[in-house]
Amino acid sequence: MNRPVRRTAGRRLLFGTDRRHVTVGVREAVVCAAAALVVAALAVVGLWRGDFPLRLDEVLGVLGGRIDGLTRTVVLEWRLPRVAAAVTFGAALGVAGAIFQTITRNPLASPDVIGLANGSFSGMLIALLLLGGGWHLLMLGSLAGGLLAALAIYLLAYRDGLSGFRFIVVGVGVSSMLAAANTWLLLRADLETALFAAAWGAGTLNTATAEVVWPAAGVVLVLLAVTPLWAAALAQLELGDDVAAASGVAVDRHRAALVLIAVALVSAVTTVAGPIAFVALAAPQIARRLVRAPGLPLAATAVVGAALLLGSDLVAQHVIPLTVPVGVVTVTLGGGYLLWLLVHEIRRTGWSTS
């Protein structure tokens, strides 16, 4: 008499778990589809609106291959690279933020908060001001700067394991020092280079031309394509180092690989657009709340990040009377979000630092 009961209980537990997983998967697919539609609509607006007036049917005609000439040049050569940069870079920042927030198990951990974006910008400034290199050298300098910043934060924060709170506090300190170093480098540069680098440092897509966007977007797409290979390890790391190690995950090796991917994503974005703030912080948490998943959904995070950056860039171009860098808009929107998140975390944890 007990066997059927145990089978029934086990079957209910199994099927209940499956139903929850299926529900989360369906909800994530719906969120991804809805966010993708938003991105597509914003992309059409980005291709349509600008200083050179176009009708919406002309934009659609160019996309359909029915219109050539100057209109095609405006849409595909002038505006499409910027739209593509906003979409791919937003997805890159969102995924990078999800990786760091999962590794540290803290929603405040993002590349711009803990100093990785400033580290990448420092490396890029050194390559630009001291070495005077082209795009490939700037990319290498940005990657080296981000990796060195990540290594410094990790070594300073590691003490019998990695505490998310300690990691963030150390990262904020490193970020402040790197910001000061970046200011010093700009003061040492000639006026024209300093003005260009300072505008770049605010986070802008104004310099997003086809020559630099397509290579950077290619790097981002490759990194985004390989990230799901580490999704299982990422899910285990979210449970803690001890649980991940007990389940057979090589914690240090997988964490190092994930950090390398995240830093490479941030570096590719920083090389073209500079350090764009708060997209990496907000996108993973927004996606998590929309999907209502226990972990951070990478696919939904990527699409939400793309929508956030593309929408912010349209606001920077067409809503604000004076055209400003997109980083100004993301900082303004992200500042309010960060304040809300800090209050939420303080209430949830009661100032716990464990």
DSSP secondary-structure letter at 131? I
246 Cβ neighbours under 8 A, 6+ residues apart:
none
Residue 226 lies in a domain: yes
Residue 200 lies in a domain: yes
Residue 201 lies in a domain: yes
Residue 272 lies in a domain: yes
CA atoms within 13 A on the CB side of 4: 1
In this prediction, the residues of the chain whose per-residue pLDDT falls under 70 are 1-24, 133, 160-164, 345, 349-354
According to the model, what pLDDT value does residue 309 have? 96
Three-state SS letters, 241-292: HHHHHHCCCCHHHHHHHHHHHHHHHHHHHHHHHCCCCCHHHHHHHHHHHHHC
Residue 34 lies in a domain: no
According to the model, what pLDDT value does residue 224 have? 95
According to the model, what pLDDT value does residue 10 have? 36
According to the model, what pLDDT value does residue 284 have? 92
111 Cβ neighbours under 8 A, 6+ residues apart:
93, 96, 97, 100, 117, 146, 262, 263, 266, 280
Q: Which amino acid is at 39?
A: V
According to the model, what pLDDT value does residue 276 have? 92
pLDDT tens-digit profile of 203-224? Answer: 899 888 888 899 999 999 999 9
- List beta partners, residue 162: 158
Q: Provide the domain limits for residue 328.
A: 83-342
Residue 26 lies in a domain: no
Q: Which amino acid is at 164?
A: G
Where residue 212 sits, what CATH number does that domain have? 1.10.3470.10
Between CA 332 and CA 329 the distance in angstroms is: 5
Between CA 26 and CA 236 the distance in angstroms is: 22
According to the model, what pLDDT value does residue 21 have? 53
Residue 42 lies in a domain: no
Read off the tokens for 293: 């998943």
According to the model, what pLDDT value does residue 271 have? 84
Alpha helices in the chain (DSSP H): 2-48, 56-63, 70-72, 80-104, 116-126, 135-157, 164-188, 191-201, 210-226, 231-237, 241-246, 251-273, 279-291, 298-314, 326-349
Residue 302 lies in a domain: yes
According to the model, what pLDDT value does residue 326 have? 92
According to the model, what pLDDT value does residue 205 have? 92
Q: What is the largest CA-CA distance in the chain?
A: 86
Domain count, the chain: 1
